[in-house]
Structures are given as structure tokens and as C-alpha cells.
Amino acid sequence: MKKTLKDMDFKGKKVLVRVDFNVPLKDREVTDTTRIEAALPTIEYLIKEGAKLLLISHLGRPGGEAKDELRMDPVAKKLANLLNKEVKKVDDCIGEDVEKAVADLKDGDVLVLENSRFYPGEKKNDPEFAKQLASLADIYVNDAFGAAHRAHATTVGVTEYLPSAAGFLMQRELNALGEVMENPASPFVAIMGGAKVSDKIDVIKNLITKVDSLIVGGGIANTFLLAKGYELGDSLVEADKVDLAKELMAEAEAKGVKIVLPIDVVIADDFSNEANTKVVQADQVPAGWQILDCGGPESLEQYKAIIKDAKTVIWNGPLGVFEMEKFAHGTIELAKALAESDAHSVIGGGDSAAAINKAGVADQMSHISTGGGASLMFFEGKELPGVAALDDVE
């Protein structure tokens, strides 16, 4: 059991809080505040307890150097709006200016540090960088579930130098994901979509040992269809993963797990929303055409029947290229089917969470994770480095 906020006394303490404020920006404005809102319970609790808060996050992938368009200022501004309280911001995360700003903090004040990935030491988990960060604070709290699969200085390194605990969001995510993986009501159904089989192999391998049915959609379904000997035209396939797909299907069969592939699919003559499209059987994709949505009517009927009977469903990755209107149908219909079912539903962040929002059914899901990569690692059955590094309850 990891220490949580309730195990610690924060009054008057400088608390370095790792949050995942890696949010989408447009013209230097935050366009989706989900991740900021998800961290509010921890932030508000620490303010109430009289801590001095130093919030740190990465934003985008600046590659170890300062990039003005990836500064944390718009995030700090949004946080101030949401908290309805002044939020200070410094243009660095270590060094003299930061030390000064920290020294000026009063109990309950909030200071946002600069993007941690402006320093190459962040991703390298450089002990020197971690030590300098840690020297700013008395306690470290990790509430960045979305970054917990990264062994970086702000998620792992700093725990070497400070007493540490999990924040409320971290706790909520671990409980929700842990419950479905350890104690799922059956039938337990997993839906895996997205672009690449190579990203999902370990997840599929682990899920086969747990679920009753595994619906495989999105680009990754193509490689499984290829393994069944189907002609797939110009569809995205990973030819070098065909043998693996065969192995996974054999393994699933031996375990009595149903791997559910699309029956009919939406195909297009170009990877574009302006392409010509039609619905065909999955083994009838002509040359020059590609599968861009697994949601043909027969496929959807099949998925809906499975979901209707399910007691637990986890979902990671869209069924098609849902960013394009013409190929979003399957993903949106699946989201709606999930909303209508009585199943306990857990959505694994990233594009699947975006699809759920697009379908307008977010409030009908049991849990939508704030982490894409992190929830995938969890579904792989692996311990997240950012969690493993936190102090255990004595």
C-alpha cells in the first residue's frame, strides 16, 4: 500500500506536486481542461491543509530545451480560473529565481514551475536534476497518473530525496483500474483498437489471461485479418506481426477466449475524409482500397450483442480513423452501446476518451482514465515506475 495524502501532515510544508498538465493547446490557450480539473481535489486539499504548493508537469515534447510555445503560463492561467485563486508562475523549475519564489510563498499559496522537459535531465532521470528539484521542497506528492509510466526525474528521481505519497487522482486511477484487472465481474470484455499491433502486443497477451472476449478493431484488426488469409487491399498492416497475431489467436482459443474481429468494414479509396467510401465484408477489400473503420453494420451488431451481455468492459483505442468524420461511425456507435449497457466500463485514456466525449456519453462511463500510455501499461499487468517509487505505508 502506497502512502496517500491522509498519511501526511502538510501544514506549513513546501510540497512538490507532480501533476500531469500535459494538455492540448491552441494559440497558447488550453483547449481541454480535463487533466487540470482531475488534479483539483489534491490541489484544493493541500491548500486547505496549509501547504505551500509547487506544481510541476511536463507539457508536450520540447526535447530537453526551452520552447516558448510550451511554457506553462496558459496552464497556470487556466488553473487560477478553475481554483478562483491567484496562481504564481516562474519561468524555470530549478535555480535562484525559483528558490526566491518559493521563499516568498505563504501557507496555501500555489506556484507553477516551468515545463520539466525543458531540462534533458527530466527524461534521463538525472539524479542531479532530481536532487535540485527536491531541494525546493519538504514533501513530494505524485498525482500525475498520466505520466506514471515514465521513469523520469519528476516521477521517479525525486522520490530518492523526499518523503512521498500518492495524490487523490493517482489513488482514484489505481483503484479503478486495479479493480477491473483484479476483480472483474464476468463476462469481462476488452476492446482494443488504435493504429499499431506492436504497441498493444503485451496488453493483448495479458488480457487473454483475464477476459472472456477480446474485440479487436482499428488498424490492429487488419494484421489479425491478414493472419486469417484475407486480402486487405491497401489497408495499414504490419506484415512482420502476422505470425504473432496467429500465435495470439491460437493462445486465445486454447484458453477459451473469443477474439472478435470485424465482419464488415468501411473502406476508402484514399486516407482522407474526402475519399469515396463503401461497406464491404472484411475479406472483400479490393486493391486500391483500405479499411478505415471496423464499424460496418454487421460488425456493430456483433459488438453490441457482446457488450449488452458484458458485466465489465475495458476499452483502449478507436475502432477506426475517428478523427475523420467519415470513419468515426464505428467508434461513436461503440461508445453509445457502452453507455447503454449496464456493464462496469473503464476507458483507457487517449483517443478512446476523446471518442467518448465526442459521442457525448462521458458521464455514463464508470471510469475514464486520464492516462493513455499509463493505463495501457497497467493493462499489461506491469507496475508503473511512478507508482512503484512512492513510499509504502509502514
Binding site residues for substrate, as ranges?
20-22, 35, 58-61, 117, 150
- Which of the residues 35, 52, 78, 89 is marked catalytic? 35
# binding residues, ligand ADP (CB under 6 A)? 20
> Near ligand ADP by CB under 6 A, which window of 55-63, 137-145, 254-262, 317-325?
317-325
**Sole binder of ligand ADP in the list 102, 216, 292, 334 (CB under 6 A):** 292
Between CA 229 and CA 247 the distance in angstroms is: 14
Q: Applying CB under 6 A, which of residues 22, 159, 316, 331 lies at the interface with ligand X15?
A: 22
Q: Which of 196, 246, 311, 358 is catalytic?
A: 196
Is 196 noted as a catalytic residue in this protein? yes
User: What, of ligand X15, ligand ADP, none, does residue 236 touch, CB below 5 to 8 Å by kind?
Assistant: ligand ADP
Q: What distance in Å separates the CA atoms of residue 121 and residue 323, rounded to the nearest whole number?
A: 34
Is residue 371 close enough to count as binding ligand X15 by CB under 6 A? yes
| Local structure of 316: helix, strand or coil | strand
Which region among 38-46, 101-109, 276-284, 366-374 touches ligand X15 (by CB under 6 A)?
Answer: 366-374
Would you call 271 helix, strand, or coil by DSSP? coil
**3-state secondary structure (DSSP) of residue 349:** coil
x/- mask, ligand ADP, residues 109-148, rule CB under 6 A, reads ----------------------------------------
- Determine the interface stretch with ligand ADP among 98-106, 121-129, 154-162, 314-322 (rule: CB under 6 A): 314-322
Task: Write the CA distances from 186 to 14, 209, 215, integer angstroms.
Answer: 46, 13, 15
Query: Binding site for (2R)-3-phosphoglycerate, residues?
Result: 35, 117, 150
- Which residues in the 2-21 window bind ligand X15 by CB under 6 A? 20
Residue ranges at the known binding site: 20-22, 35, 58-61, 117, 150, 200, 323, 349-352
Name the strand (E) or helix (H) holding 206: helix 197-208
Residue 313 CA: distances (Å) to CA of 62, 214, 308, 337, 346: 36, 10, 10, 11, 6
Among 40, 151, 195, 388, binds ligand ADP (CB under 6 A): 195
| Cβ contact 171:144 at 8 Å | no
- How far is the CA of 13 from the CAs of 17, 102, 140, 369, in angstroms? 12, 11, 10, 30
Query: Footprint of ligand X15 on residues 55-94 (CB under 6 A)?
Result: 61
> Which among ligand X15, ligand ADP, none contacts residue 61 (Cβ within 5 to 8 A by kind)?
ligand X15
CA distance to 82, 172, 215, 293, 325, per residue, from 274 (Å): 39, 42, 28, 15, 10
Which partner from the list ligand X15, ligand ADP, none does 150 bind, CB cut-off 5 to 8 Å by kind?
ligand X15
| Beta strands 312-316 and 188-192, pairing class | parallel
Q: Is 28 a catalytic residue?
A: no
How many other CB atoms sit within 10 Å of the CB of residue 360? 12
Asked if omega into 297 is within 30° of 0 (cis), the reply is no
Burial of 183 (0-12, 13-18, 19+ CB in 10 A): exposed
Binding mask 136-175 for ligand X15 (x = CB under 6 A): ----------xx--x-------------------------
Catalytic residues, which ones?
A: 35, 196, 350, 373
Question: What is the contact surface with ligand ADP in residues (CB under 6 A)?
Answer: 193-196, 199, 218-219, 236, 291-292, 316-318, 320-321, 323, 350-352, 372
Residue ranges binding ligand X15 (CB under 6 A): 20, 22, 61, 146-147, 150, 349-350, 371-373
